[in-house]
Homo-oligomer: A and B are copies of this chain.
């Protein structure tokens, strides 16, 4: 067989981690706090069925849904994104500068196509979302982790590392971060946008959890502070509509959108039409608002159940993040428990989580005693039972 491309070597480590994430959790008796899915029960299946039964007829939008569509995405959906998702968050966007992608993550891939040559540096949070590190490594970018504290990215460290490494991009999930659940405060958002402008660096703001807020006040996106077009705003419809539909969007400066258009064309021509049309009709018919309320209510209960279970079952000295929204909390264990090793034993206790070490870019030993705990797709009863099991396992190691 001919040799594989160099990028395949480069991404081998993160790819193995990701394969692990997607693979392991198939035992129905195991309570899994892995994954990153929203509550399956909350998915608007019956609404979508009804919409499909009507709009897919040949005399409505059936033929549009099945024929080739525009590279940038269905115009109606781009208008909805601009009007209902961007404008209320202080981003006044022209729908022409919105591009619909095949799931939120595709934006990271396309933006790398547009900006990243092998060896270019991308600054990321420590810890950050491992799936994006896999993407960055496929483009042979060098990922450098930046310090975080209890509020997220430490801006002074970002500036220091911009000066030292001259990165092309800073990748940040400012709201209910994956994996930690932390939210970056307003003043740091403003400073980060300014750093992008000052040092001519792309700030890639990935904001898929924003609408899933259960407590506290909404904060403006970094993009709302951007005055020079250096911030690119990436978001997903996975959490607020449906993950399986693979719908996301990116809003950026016109010059960047034009290049993203070419990269999208050369990746898969355009995003699937059927889900775009079903999603647009879902918003246009006014289902979104009540759906989001229900979604947040369900996830809030689960967040609360998880926080209560932490108090109840975790040994003294354990630290965890209280997330104001999203799907995750980040747990730091006392003693010197290695959560990667512990995971094997967790299988016997019929409970699963994601070990912390995988979330650090090119690290040596960081996050060894940490775990990402997702509560989005686990019922409150199972959260209690699963955390009881996990607590017992951890206590047996101390």
Chain A residues with CB under 8 Å of chain B are 1-8, 11, 15, 18-19, 22, 35, 37, 40, 43-46, 48-49, 52-53, 56-58, 62-71, 101-103, 105-106, 109, 112-117, 120, 131, 134-135, 138, 168-169, 200-202, 229-230, 238, 242-247, 253, 255-256, 259, 261-263, 265-275, 278
Contacts and interface: CB of A to CB of B under 8 A. Distances in A.
A3 B116 CA distance: 9
Interface centre among A22, A43, A120, A269 (most CB of B within 10 A): A269
Nearest to A107: B268
Q: Which of A68, A117, A169 is packed against the most chain B CB atoms within 10 Å? A: A68
A70 B120 CA distance: 31
Given A114-B5, A200-B2, A66 B43 contact: yes
Nearest to A56: B49
Contact of A22 (B65, B67, B265): B265
B245 A272 contact: yes
A71 B20 CA distance: 12
A67 B272 contact: no
Contacts of A6: 117
Given A65-B244, A102-B246, 14 more contacts: A2-B201, A4-B114, A48-B62, A52-B56, A66-B244, A102-B272, A103-B270, A109-B267, A109-B268, A131-B269, A134-B262, A134-B266, A135-B266, A271-B272
